[in-house]
Structure formats: structure tokens, C-alpha cells
Structure 1
């Protein structure tokens, strides 16, 4: 079973969205199969093969998630982050402003799905390998 310390070590190598594919590869090697990150406080719930589940601590003070999502602005912010032009805290603030409540990563399918407060899928993207 993977540990939160192993996940933190993998995440410590992520400086921007450009580092995301390598992070996903490392999580897969640890046995993580799925995770959800909640924008309001930055905590993440990680799931493995055998009903394993661990949660990280909150990463920052609670953010208010916009009631109405703005997918167009979110896509602009996401692309900037993926190019390494914003750091993780900035990306989380941008997500909250755009109405993104959480994202879910399916490591087996290599997808990342972003959701609003009512659970509507805002964007599904393939994770590059």
C-alpha cells in the first residue's frame, strides 16, 4: 500500500502543470489508481487497487468556489498552468474563481475531469504520457 509520505515526495517534484505527466506516472508506480482533489482546501483523496484510501491534509485556507462556472476562463487558466506559467496555489485560486469544485484523475484511463459545485463535468482531458 502507498503512503501519504510517498505521495508527498512525488508531488514535491511538481512545480507547474508541465510536471504533471511525470507525477501521474510516479503515482501509478506507487499503486494509486484514482484520486480527487478538492479546490476549497486543496486536500486530495487517493485510491488504490484493494479499496485502499488515504487523504492528504488541507493545503491552504478555504477558498470560496464561484457559484457559476466559467469554462472559457478556466480553459485559459489551465493552459497557462500546463505551460508552467502559474504555480499550484495560483492555479487553485483560478479554479475557485472559475467555479471548479474538484478534479478527478483516473490513472488507468489517463484522464483528468474537472467538476463544478453541482457535479457537472466542465472538462475532461487526456493526460499526456
Structure 2
């Protein structure tokens, strides 16, 4: 089974959104099926076959997630982040301000879905392969 250390090593190669698809392909080879990243503290739960699960540690002090979702602002912040305009923490802080609670990446479907606190899908993206 895979480890958070393996995933972190693969993620260290990602400098902007342009490298994200290669990262996804690499962690797929480890056996990662999906992962869920929580905006509140930046930790991620990774899922593999046979209900295998491992989690990363929190990356920063807890952020407060806005009660009201601002999908338009979130879309702008996401585009800026994907173009290399912000680092991970700034992106997460922007997500919190826009009411985004988490995102789930499904490596079989090659999708990334962003959710608000009520579990509503705010945006679904297809990950380039």
C-alpha cells in the first residue's frame, strides 16, 4: 500500500496547475483511488483498494469556512491558483472565504469536485490525463 510520504514526494514536483495531471498519474501508480482534501486545516484522506485509507497531518491552523458560498469568487480564485498565482495555503484561505469546505479527486473518473459545508457540489472539473 501507499504512504503519505510517497504522495508528498510526488506532490513536491508540482509547482503550478500545469504539473497537476502528471502528479495525478504518478499517485495512481501507487494505488491511490481517490483523495479528499479539507480546507479547514489542509489535511487529506487518501483512499485505495480494499478500504485502505491513510491521512496526512494538518498543514496549518484551522480556517473558518464561510457559511455562504460565493461560487463566482471561488471560480476566479481557482483559475488564479491553477495559473500559478497563489500558493496552496492562499488558495485554501480563498476557498474558506468562498465557503468551500473540501474537494474530492476521483482518480478513476479523473474528476475534482468542490463542495460547500452542506455537501452541495459547487464545481466539477475534469482532470486532463
- The separation in 2 between residues aligned to 1:59 and 1:16, in whole angstroms, is 18
Given the two structures, how large is their TM-score scaled by the length of structure 1?
0.97
The within-5 A match list for 1:43-54 is 43-54=43-54
Mapped pair 1:58 → 2:32? no
Residue 92 of structure 2: aligned partner: 92
Segments of 5+ residues of structure 1 without an aligned counterpart are none
Q: Is the 8 A contact 1:24 1:107 kept in 2?
A: yes
- The separation in 2 between residues aligned to 1:78 and 1:36, in whole angstroms, is 17
SS in 2 for 1:103: strand
Given the two structures, how large is their TM-score scaled by the length of structure 2?
0.97
- The separation in 1 between residues aligned to 2:82 and 2:22, in whole angstroms, is 13
Residue 82 of structure 2: aligned partner: 82
SS in 1 for 2:80: helix
Segments of 5+ residues of structure 2 without an aligned counterpart are none
RMSD, matched Cα: 0.8
Q: Is the 8 A contact 1:34 1:106 kept in 2?
A: yes
Give how far 1:16 is off.
2.6
- The separation in 2 between residues aligned to 1:15 and 1:65, in whole angstroms, is 26
Give how far 1:19 is off.
2.1
Give how far 1:15 is off.
2.2
Task: Give the aligned length.
Answer: 129
Q: Is the 8 A contact 1:17 1:84 kept in 2?
A: yes
